[in-house]
Structure 1
Amino acid sequence: MKHGRGLGKVYLVGAGPGDPKLITVRGLEAIERADAVVYDRLANPKLLRHAKPGADKIFVGKLPDKHMIKQEEISRLLVDLALQGKTVTRLKGGDPSVFGRVGEEAELLAEHGIEFEIVPGITSAIAVPAYAGIPVTHRDFTSSFSVVTGHEYPNKTYSNVNWENLANASGTIVFLMGVANIGTICGELMAHGRDPDTPGAVIRMGTWMEQRTVVGTLATLPTLVKEAGLQSPAIIIVGDVVKLREKLAWFEKRPLFGKRVLVTRAREQASELVRLIEERGGEAVEFPVIRIRRPERAETVRAVDEALRRLEEYDWILFTSANGVEYTFERMRELRVDVRQMYRAKIAAVGPKTQEALAARGLIADLVPNAGFQAESLLELLQSFVTPGERVLLPKGDLARPVLADGLRRFGAHVTEADVYENVPSLDGGEEALAMLRAGAVQAVAFTSSSTVTNLLEALRRLGEPDPVGLLNGVGLYVIGPVTAKTAAEAGLRVTASADEATIESLVEAMAR
């Protein structure tokens, strides 16, 4: 998008401390509208998913003392992109104005007459201690804090850090980018009068799943950090507020903290599962091994259309998934079939999620099982209600098991099956997922259906994994119910736990136990 005189605009955005949900609304808007996103290593790559299709994603990450791209080159890149008329989002970890060198980038943009906007971010200096249970201020301890760089520019001949003032001030001190110099930092504070017994903590990868915290004193922290092997990125916090961690630590106590869970569900359905995993402290890695779509074969489409045009003939309409509801109503709209044609039919739903999907469309299910939430439980319930000769419509997916249809026919019902959607294998995100599995970076896999089991194994084979069963048996395997468990066992997989009920909530609870 071009701005004045054909120039682009540059957004200098703070991405927050790591947790992708901690970015500001304005920051997210800047990512969504960008033609090019220029990002560093401390910006969570998940944020790039919000970039529009076709946007350039340019990595300019820098390691301490190992700059892949010099700062001057990054600043020049922003200018060059803007001169091409592009909207550019420069994505930086934390807040760009706190040791983020945003001033240097903004200066060069201003010199070239390029419009820019600085979008503040949540600084790691406050957020990371908070995620470790350490507020930087507390009325019982201190009403002030200092934020200090722990890694000054190497060519400087003097230090801007006033160690004497820092050591003798009563407030909390937060050092950013200082873990490699922790011995010097603690030594300088003690040499200038700070009590060696002053509490301190080092927090690595704060707000990320890999967060680790070491607590000690100025005298002991350097040794403790070395023994723990903590490396950058990490912050150091010094002060009596560190004492509060024992009482206030919360992030690491969530039941799925430290677990990275591979989600195999179709992307269209995965959002709720991802949300629940993240709420409980885990990290979801999406590898949707199936994709849901409307049927494409002409004969299947004809059969669906014929069934939906005869809604007034059915005594029962049975929905066995939220997908079945969605695709049924989508096709009804296209065919201009009025929902009032269902007036004769009683409606049953296999479980609460399907019931909710119906309610969202103004339909209240007449029958819903109290437990189980699978075809077997719905069939058992229907046995007391369906009478011989009644006509039943069963909108379903192409891979649905025949349990329900066969059982209803045994009851004497006339069953019309309509495959309103199809399950198609997918490899989207597969290479990343396979690499993480091989590296031991995945701790659990969530299977939400039998098809996700078979499709994941097949996808791993297609991606070149010679032993997918052995690879998966090296992590926790969690299934949504007994049918999925049976499929997994038949494939040679060792199931860690099965959900008590066939719901996403119950599956996540099984992982958290």
Structure 2
Amino acid sequence: MPFSSDIFPPFPEMAPGEVWLVGAGPGDPRLLTVMAVHALRQANTIVHDALVDPRILRLAAGDAEIHFAGKRGGRPSSQQRDINELIVAEAKKGRRVLRLKGGDPFVFGRGGEEARALVQAGIPYRVVPGLTAGLAAPALAGIPATSRDTNHAVILAAGHRAAGDEGAADWEALAATGQPIVLYMALAQLPEIVAAFERGGLSADTPATIISNATGGEERILETRLSRLVSDAKVSGIEPPAVIVVGANAALRATLAPGMVRL
């Protein structure tokens, strides 16, 4: 049933042959945007990532076709080319296509690549932003992305590419900014990244926090320091998906988290 409230402007209808690139947020279905729920109720083809909570898919229309297109490091995964071809093919059939991605489709979600494929195929599309885990997970753990006491900027960086790979971050240069760095998909490359941070001038005592499975039932939070980040992560057995905060703002959790009532 459509949302009926004087609060909301009219919602756009998902037209046949149209694709919506929609962010599903960090996991908890309650953190979906209203527009994302609206899209889920209209789509008759849904192509979703591995990190989309199964409960979110239960919001889909009963006749919707569900396609899994997950990408997980070190595991058999859908190729981006195949995903692009799938959403284009479904749209050309006249389907109302929802490409559902964890977090935000344009923040390390390859939404830009999919948008480009749609433009090249002449397929109209819309973007529905979602809460990205790099900001939402720390906030829910009591770590502000920015604070006047610690920082006025924050860096979001994908950590799954090794140094020298095309598009890989220059970790030493990022460390030299002195600003907090939020790492996505970084556990596998963590030793290399930490070593580069130290070469870039980050103190061994720099606060660091790992948040694994944010907003999920198996969420784990590990507080440590840069010098112990790799060893503590290994000993704890913490697993992806994980967001890692390295910087002065991570230390704010000690004073902010005790009074926080979790969602």
TM-score when scaled to structure 2?
Answer: 0.90
Equivalent position to 1:174, from 182, 193, 198: 182
Distance (whole Å) between structure 2 residues aligned to residue 14 and residue 2 of structure 1: 16
- Which whole-Å deviations, capped at 9, do the CAs of 1:413-444 have from their partners, x for residues lacking one? xxxxxxxxxxxxxxxxxxxxxxxxxxxxxxxx
Residue 222 of structure 2 aligns to a residue whose secondary structure is strand
RMSD over aligned CA atoms reads 2.0
User: Which amino acid in 2 is paired with 1:97?
Assistant: F
Equivalent position to 1:91, from 91, 100, 118: 100
Partner of 2:211: 203
Deviation at 1:243, TM superposition (A): 1.1
Residue 136 of structure 2 aligns to a residue whose secondary structure is helix
User: Which amino acid in 2 is paired with 1:114?
Assistant: I
Asked if 1:64 corresponds to 2:73, the answer is yes
Distance (whole Å) between structure 1 residues aligned to residue 163 and residue 204 of structure 2: 30
For these two proteins, the number of residue pairs brought into alignment is 251
Alpha carbons of 1:143 and 1:207: their partners in 2 closer, same or farther (altered >3 Å)?
Answer: same
Distance (whole Å) between structure 2 residues aligned to residue 198 and residue 2 of structure 1: 47
Partner of 2:170: 162
Deviation at 1:164, TM superposition (A): 3.0
Alpha carbons of 1:2 and 1:238: their partners in 2 closer, same or farther (altered >3 Å)?
Answer: closer
- Which whole-Å deviations, capped at 9, do the CAs of 1:275-306 have from their partners, x for residues lacking one? xxxx6xxxxxxxxxxxxxxxxxxxxxxxxxxx
Alpha carbons of 1:193 and 1:30: their partners in 2 closer, same or farther (altered >3 Å)?
Answer: same
Equivalent position to 2:253, from 233, 245, 249: 245
Partner of 2:40: 31
- Which whole-Å deviations, capped at 9, do the CAs of 1:381-415 have from their partners, x for residues lacking one? xxxxxxxxxxxxxxxxxxxxxxxxxxxxxxxxxxx
User: Which amino acid in 2 is paired with 1:240?
Assistant: A
Alpha carbons of 1:83 and 1:202: their partners in 2 closer, same or farther (altered >3 Å)?
Answer: same
Partner of 1:20: 29
Partner of 2:129: 120
Deviation at 1:16, TM superposition (A): 0.3
User: Which amino acid in 2 is paired with 1:111?
Assistant: Q
- Aligned 8 A contact 1:200 1:215 in 2: yes
Distance (whole Å) between structure 1 residues aligned to residue 118 and residue 168 of structure 2: 27
Equivalent position to 1:49, from 39, 58, 65: 58
Equivalent position to 1:235, from 223, 239, 243: 243
Distance (whole Å) between structure 1 residues aligned to residue 115 and residue 26 of structure 2: 21
User: Which amino acid in 2 is paired with 1:148?
Assistant: A
Partner of 2:146: 137
Deviation at 1:222, TM superposition (A): 0.5
- Aligned 8 A contact 1:180 1:231 in 2: no
- Aligned 8 A contact 2:14 2:43 in 1: no
Q: Which runs of 5+ in 2 are unaligned?
A: 1-12
- Aligned 8 A contact 2:178 2:202 in 1: no
Asked if 1:223 corresponds to 2:231, the answer is yes
Deviation at 1:2, TM superposition (A): 8.6
Equivalent position to 1:193, from 190, 193, 201: 201
Deviation at 1:202, TM superposition (A): 0.8
Alpha carbons of 1:198 and 1:208: their partners in 2 closer, same or farther (altered >3 Å)?
Answer: same
Structure number with the bigger relative contact order (C-alpha 8 A, sep ≥ 6) is 2
- Aligned 8 A contact 1:33 1:51 in 2: yes
TM-score when scaled to structure 1?
Answer: 0.47
Alpha carbons of 1:251 and 1:65: their partners in 2 closer, same or farther (altered >3 Å)?
Answer: farther
Give matches, 1:247-326, under 5 Å: 247-249=255-257
Query: Which of the pair is proportionally richer in helix?
Result: 1
